[in-house]
Amino acid sequence: MESCVKNMKFSDLKIIEKSFSWIKNQLDPAMGYVIFENNLNKQPLSLFSESLTAYLKKAGYAFKMVFDAQQAKEYLVIQVDPGNEDEILGKVMGYGLPKDTVSYLYKAKPHDKE
């Protein structure tokens, strides 16, 4: 599910420096997203472990790693097919993330049926 939403290329394993508001502006309303936020001021463990990125890649998830240096926060953005947001959230949370990780779900806007 390789994808490019505006300026956010998924699954390239590069960490980009941007803010949460930038992320929200990049999201495609036709897709679903699970976003994990890690505040490095509260705990030093990174979301971007090699084992987690390997798991996401092996599972075929389209994901992007974003670091906000001003806020000292990391964001893991996972793009998912509409309707799968809750399932993916559960799978990735079950993988084991740092204790104070916050998650956000952005569900796809439903298409108008004609």
- State the average pLDDT over residues 23-34: 94
Mind listing the pLDDT tens digit for each residue in 64-91? Answer: 999 999 999 999 999 999 998 999 999 8
pTM of the shown model: 0.86
Task: Answer whether residue 6 shows pLDDT above 90.
Answer: no
Predicted confidence band of residue 8 (pLDDT cuts 50, 70, 90): low
Residues listed for the chain: 114
Task: Answer whether residue 106 shows pLDDT above 80.
Answer: yes
Sequence ranges of the domains in the chain: 4-106
- Catalogue the E-assigned strands of 1-114: 4-5, 8-9, 15-17, 32-39, 62-68, 73-80, 102-106
pLDDT at 4: 40
Query: Is 4-106 a domain of CATH 3.30.310?
Result: no
